[in-house]
Amino acid sequence: MSDYLPVQVILEILKRLPIKSLVKCRSVCTTWNSLICNPSFISTHLQASLSEPNNIPFILLRCFKKGKENSILHYNNDDFDEFKQLQFPVFGCLSYSAVVGSCNGLVCLTFLPQDVLNFIFWNPSIQKYITLPQPNICCYTDDVRLNFGFGFDSKTNDYKLLIVGVEKGETLIEPYLFSLNENCWKKVTPTSPKYAVEAGISSTFVNGALHWLGYQEGKLVDSVMQF
């Protein structure tokens, strides 16, 4: 087809396709595979998807039936009658624990046991995931409480995972930041916040920044912290 259509026309067609169709199109030829896997095209396709007026948000639900866990993906509409059962990745003795966050169709999961930090970035649309390297940071103890945040850095076109927390309710643990582009963890040194974040309370990614409710001496305060 590329012999008859300019590459630019092919790109315009491909960027309007849903992700599952794009995955199939990669098998058409090496040229199409290269186009679809190009970071520039991936960014263009993402922006086109986000600007689509008929773009339907989803709700991820967990349910338990007869001791068996099921996870389903629902359309967020008034009818609430369309759903798809999902098969979460399982790693040997590690079991699915919680959703850290989601952004642009990518989901960050954390796994048990909690004495070791285990994370993956997972794309439920194509059922593919990557396992993150473990950060060099102490995990949950009686004195240490951690929280996580997942988001997208539009300046560097990069997905990032942040670990924040406090030790003994007071001392701020130096935050660690994972970059998908660099595939590594780094310490970050932002200005120390006035308040702590409570373990287990999810962050919210809004307008390119992570937000948490602030806590002081174990009590919720009238404050929202941003990273």
Cα–Cα distance, 207 to 34 (Å, whole number): 31
- Global pTM? 0.69
Instruction: List per-block mean pLDDT (blocks of 10 residues) for the chain, which spans 227 residues.
Output: 72 81 84 81 76 61 53 50 57 63 83 72 80 78 75 88 73 79 86 56 70 62 55
Q: Is residue 96 part of a domain?
A: no
Please check whether residues 132 and 216 belong to one and the same domain: yes
pLDDT number for residue 182 = 93
Q: Is residue 63 part of a domain?
A: no
Element (H, E) at 32: helix 30-37
Q: Domain range holding 12?
A: 7-50
pLDDT number for residue 24 = 84
Please check whether residues 221 and 110 belong to one and the same domain: yes
221 three-state secondary structure: strand
Cα–Cα distances (Å) from 223 to 76, 136, 151, 212, 217, in that order, read 29, 30, 21, 9, 14
Q: Is residue 65 part of a domain?
A: no
Please check whether residues 195 and 110 belong to one and the same domain: yes
Residues near 173 by beta carbon (within 8 Å), at least 6 away in sequence: 137, 144, 146, 164, 165, 166, 167
